Amino acid sequence: MDGVAALAGDTDGADGGGGSASDPAGALVDAEVIAAMRAQNLDPQAYLANNDATAFFAATGGLLQTGPTLTNVNDVRVILVD
């Protein structure tokens, strides 16, 4: 996935969750995350089947954690192709 990056996040700093300051705001996928996944031999389908994207992205370095922003404008989705 060289040259492609995708971001999914929430402007309030917590994507779902219980509203805790430790809740992730979302995740980023790029070539580095894919490389980390492969290096650790992670199966993304297994994480998806368990509804556990947080653990997957924490393990691969793609987890977006901003903490509460006190700004709940909208969800943000960005795909960058270079």
Is residue 61 assigned to a domain?
yes
Neighbouring C-beta atoms of residue 37, cutoff 10 Å: 20
Is residue 82 assigned to a domain?
no
Q: How much is the pLDDT for 3?
A: 93
In the predicted model, what is the mean pLDDT of residues 64-77? Answer: 83
Is residue 36 assigned to a domain?
yes
Is residue 80 assigned to a domain?
no
6-52 confidence digits (pLDDT tens): 999 887 777 666 666 678 888 999 999 999 999 999 999 999 999 99
Is residue 79 assigned to a domain?
no
Q: What is the domain count for the chain?
A: 1
Please give the residue range of the domain that contains residue 56. 4-71
In the predicted model, what is the mean pLDDT of residues 47-72? Answer: 91
Is residue 30 assigned to a domain?
yes
**SS3 for 55-69, per residue?**
HHHHHHCCEECCCCC
Quote the pTM value: 0.82
